Structure 1
Amino acid sequence: MSRTLRVVAPIALALSLTGCMGGLLGGGETPPWLLTLTPQAPATENVVRTAGPGEAVTIAVPVIPKEIRTTRVPVHSGPIAIAYVEDLTWVDTPDRLFQDLLSETVTRMTNRVVLDPNQASLDPGLTITGNLTRFGYDEQEGAVIVRYDAAMARAGGSAVTTRRFEAREPADGTAATVAPAINAAANRVAMEAAQWVAGS
Structure 2
Amino acid sequence: MKKLAPLLLAAPLAAMLSGCISFGGKPPKVPFMTIRAAEQVKPGDVQTPASGSTVTVLFPVVPHELATTRVPVHQGGNAVAYVKDAQWVEAPPRLFARLLGDTISARTGRPVLSYRQSQVDPGATLSGELRSFGVDADTNEAVVIYDALLVQGDDATKFQKRRFEARAPLAEVKPELVAEALNKAANQVAVEVSDWVGK
Q: Does the pair score TM above 0.5? A: yes
Q: Determine the C-alpha separation between the residues in 2 that align with 1:186 and 1:85.
A: 18
| 1:1-200 paired onto structure 2 within 5 Å | 30-41=28-39, 43-44=41-42, 46-157=44-155, 159-171=158-170, 172-199=172-199
Normalising by structure 1, report the TM-score: 0.82
User: 1:51-85 deviations in whole A, cap 9, x for unaligned?
Assistant: 22221110000001110111111001122211111
**Mapped contact 1:127–1:152 kept (Cα < 8 A):** yes
Q: What is the rounded CA distance, in whole Å, between the counterparts of 1:178 and 1:74 in structure 2?
A: 11
Question: Higher mean Cα deviation, 92-101 or 175-184?
Answer: 175-184
| Alignment partners' CA distance in 2, 1:49 and 1:42 | 13
Q: What RMSD, in angstroms, separates the aligned Cα atoms of the two structures?
A: 2.3
Gaps of 5+ in 1: 19-28
Greater fraction helix? 1
Residue 102 of structure 1 aligns to which amino acid in structure 2?
L
Aligned residues: 181
Q: Percentage identity across aligned positions?
A: 39
Q: Is residue 56–residue 113 contact of structure 1 (8 Å, CA) maintained in 2?
A: yes
SS of 1:86 mapped into structure 2: coil
Using the alignment, how far apart are the partners of 1:50 and 1:70 within structure 2? Answer: 37
TM-fit CA distance, 1:30: 4.2
Which ranges in structure 2 are unaligned for 5 or more consecutive residues?
Answer: 1-12
Question: Aligned partner of 1:177: which letter?
Answer: L
**Greater C-alpha Rg:** 2
Tell me the CA shift for residue 31 of structure 1.
4.5
Partners of 2:67 and 2:150 in 1: CA distance: 23
**Alpha-carbon distance in structure 2 between the residues aligned to 1:197 and 1:47:** 21
* 1: CA distance, partners of 2:48 / 2:166: 32
CA drift of 1:176 comes to 3.2
